[in-house]
Chains A and B, each alone.
Chain A
């Protein structure tokens, strides 16, 4: 499988969905309950970026997203004694975030709940690759490329992304509609499994896959525009 997340996340993503904390997570919960500050700081460092990215899918501004993430961490502190281990620690953490971000997002900007957004974005029939690039239905080559993808001269190769390419990818993700952005962030940046994403966002597997597809295609399109522009 390609498009693998960073190594530390990859091992977790490859395992079947867990209903209980991992041994590492149990140790972390113990450490937090014992007041281990280093463990708490490590946990914050580890997850803060993913929490922030996900919050940005729900709320209109970075400032609000940072508030939501901050509130989430405070809820973790006060709630860790009550964490019962019915889900993984990570799922618990992100569920807190998602609930807060949804509530805040709905209050700040939208009256439409996230699940409706997800359905709307997934049901959107807008072609992601311009129909002009394929032969029309009445042609002998109906549906085949007429203007195909051009090989990328300076293609992103693994971890050797230029600053420019990174900024194209980041920009493309930031421009995604919220549900697509949330799914792409959780699957492809944070390395969650599809089961974990569906559980946290409250969407179906099929819905999740459609959103993932649409989001990824848009990012690929942005890279194509960028690399085609380089000639």
Chain B
């Protein structure tokens, strides 16, 4: 059953990901938004949560260290060399035995 009582801050903190993920019903979302309309501290909290996501999103993928890359390239060449026939060029799985 939908909760129509006003949202408290402690509850908002639990629900913020549901909100940002779009996983709320319209009435749940309205209840959340109504609280933000009157609670500047929760506005700060949600804003900090969003900034946290932005910060996480800037983490760079790490470079492949050179020795590991050499090993992989060598393995790829070995595999290339060990395949007899040319592969099918339509991207379909190989039909060789």
Contact = CB atoms under 8 A, between A and B. Distances in A.
Interface of A: 1-6, 26, 29-30, 33-35, 37, 40-41, 44-50, 52, 66, 70, 73-74, 77-78, 81-85, 128-129, 131, 134, 142-145, 148-152, 155-159, 161, 165-166, 169-170, 173, 184, 188-189, 191, 194, 209, 212-213, 216-217, 219-220, 223-224
A216 B17 contact: yes
Nearest to A169: B55
B20 A152 contact: no
5 contacts: A1-B20, A3-B56, A30-B90, A81-B93, A217-B49
B9 A44 contact: no
A33 B61 contact: no
A-side binding surface: helix, strand, loop or mixed? helix
Contact of A70 (B23, B68, B90): B68
Contacts of A41: 69, 73
Interface of B: 8-11, 13-14, 16-18, 20-23, 39, 41-42, 44-45, 48-64, 68-69, 71-73, 75-77, 79-80, 83, 87-91, 93-94
A189 B10 CA distance: 27
Given A37-B77, A77-B79, 8 more contacts: A3-B20, A129-B10, A144-B8, A161-B58, A212-B17, A213-B16, A216-B49, A217-B16
Contacts of B64: 44-45, 48
Contact of A188 (B53, B63, B94): B53
